[in-house]
């Protein structure tokens, strides 16, 4: 009987010890769960604070670029595109017409040609008469020779005057073409310079927009990375 009682007492003691151990384990697990939950809640709260800070940072970046502005804007981009579309190199090539001066050497023949020839013939005839040659064949030949020489001289002078005038008119023609081309070149250079300035404004606008987008995307990416870090930390608690 006594052994049975002793065995019962031993079993009861074992059960009591086991119960106490289980209870202790349960309380320990509960404490650990509460500690994990508290840590997780703190991480979630800190994550919300971090989200708010990143949201504020994104808004600050956007406001910075609004306040900063840029030298160019969308209108400059549109005007630059339109200026390029309307740039036609052929507009700056001077038109060249044919040289149409219509002068002739007869225009420069002495207007008193007939009188000069007549006076020349009379002078030679009078000279011949004074020399006793009269109206013979020799006198006639002298008159013809003198008239021919005077005529050649008058035509030679007319031809030289004609050539000089033609050269002068052709130079004026060339100068007019050159001056016109120089004027068009100046216009082209001015327009190209203006287009270059418009291009600079358009490029500045795009550069500013690209920088703004890059800064915003980086802040948003950093926010996502922080969120993932908090999520991993919370998951690690369990």
**Across all residues in the chain, what is the average pLDDT?**
85
The structural domains of the chain, with segments of one domain joined by +, span 74-217
Percentage of the chain modeled with pLDDT above 70: 85
Q: Are 104 and 238 in contact (CB under 8 A)?
A: no
**Has residue 160 got a pLDDT over 50?**
yes
**Residues in contact with 133: Cβ distance below 8 Å, sequence separation at least 6, in sequence order:** 139, 142
Q: Are 202 and 80 in contact (CB under 8 A)?
A: yes
Q: Are 125 and 143 in contact (CB under 8 A)?
A: yes
The pair of structure tokens assigned to 115 is 């009188």
pLDDT at site 131: 52
Cα separation, 217 vs 61, in Å, equals 10
CA dihedral 172, 175, 177, 180 (to 10 degrees): -120
Burial of 70 (0-12, 13-18, 19+ CB in 10 A): middle
In this prediction, residues 187-214 reach a mean pLDDT of 95
**Has residue 5 got a pLDDT over 50?**
no
**Has residue 215 got a pLDDT over 50?**
yes
Worst-scoring range by mean pLDDT, 11-25, 60-74, 93-107, 112-126? 11-25
Burial of 106 (0-12, 13-18, 19+ CB in 10 A): exposed
**Has residue 65 got a pLDDT over 50?**
yes
pLDDT at site 236: 86
Q: How many residues does the chain have?
A: 238
CA dihedral 191, 192, 195, 196 (to 10 degrees): -140
Cα separation, 156 vs 148, in Å, equals 12
pLDDT at site 150: 86
Measured between its terminal Cα atoms, the distance across the chain in Å is 52
pLDDT at site 116: 85
For the segment 7-56, what is each residue's pLDDT rounded down to a tens digit? 444 444 454 455 556 667 777 788 888 888 898 899 999 999 999 999 99
State the maximum Cα–Cα separation within the chain, in Å, rounded to a whole number: 205
pLDDT at site 60: 96
DSSP string covering 183-216: HHHHHHHHHHHHHHHHHHHHHHHHHHHHHHHHHH
pTM, full prediction: 0.59
For the segment 71-95, what is each residue's pLDDT rounded down to a tens digit? 899 999 999 999 999 999 999 999 8
Closest residue by Cα to residue 99 from 160, 174, 159: 174
In this prediction, residues 133-156 reach a mean pLDDT of 75
pLDDT at site 16: 46
pLDDT at site 64: 95
pLDDT at site 180: 95
**Has residue 141 got a pLDDT over 60?**
yes
pLDDT category of residue 228 using cuts at 50, 70 and 90: very high
pLDDT category of residue 140 using cuts at 50, 70 and 90: confident
Percentage of the chain modeled with pLDDT above 90: 52
pLDDT at site 128: 59
């Amino acid at each position: 009987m006594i052994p049975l009682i002793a065995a019962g007492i031993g079993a009861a003691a074992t059960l009591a010890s086991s119960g106490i151990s289980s209870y202790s384990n349960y309380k320990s697990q509960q404490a650990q769960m509460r500690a994990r939950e508290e840590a997780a809640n703190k991480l979630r709260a800190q994550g919300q604070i971090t989200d708010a800070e990143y949201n504020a940072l994104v808004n600050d970046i956007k406001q910075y670029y609004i306040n900063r502005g840029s030298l160019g804007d969308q209108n400059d981009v549109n005007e630059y595109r339109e200026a390029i579309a309307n740039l036609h190199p052929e507009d700056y090539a001077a038109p060249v017409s044919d040289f149409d001066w219509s002068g002739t050497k007869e225009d420069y023949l002495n207007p008193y040609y007939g009188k000069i020839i007549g006076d020349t013939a009379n002078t030679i005839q009078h000279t011949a008469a004074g020399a006793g040659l009269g109206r013979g064949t020799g006198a006639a030949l002298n008159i013809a020779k003198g008239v021919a020489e005077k005529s050649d001289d008058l035509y030679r002078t007319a031809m030289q005057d004609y050539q000089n005038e033609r050269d002068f008119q052709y130079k004026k023609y060339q100068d007019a073409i050159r001056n016109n081309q120089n004027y068009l070149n100046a216009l082209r250079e001015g327009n190209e310079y203006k287009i270059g300035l418009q291009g600079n404004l358009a490029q500045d606008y795009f550069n500013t927009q690209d920088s703004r987008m890059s800064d915003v995307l980086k802040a948003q990416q950093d926010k996502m990375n922080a969120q993932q870090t908090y999520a991993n930390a919370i998951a690690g608690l369990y």
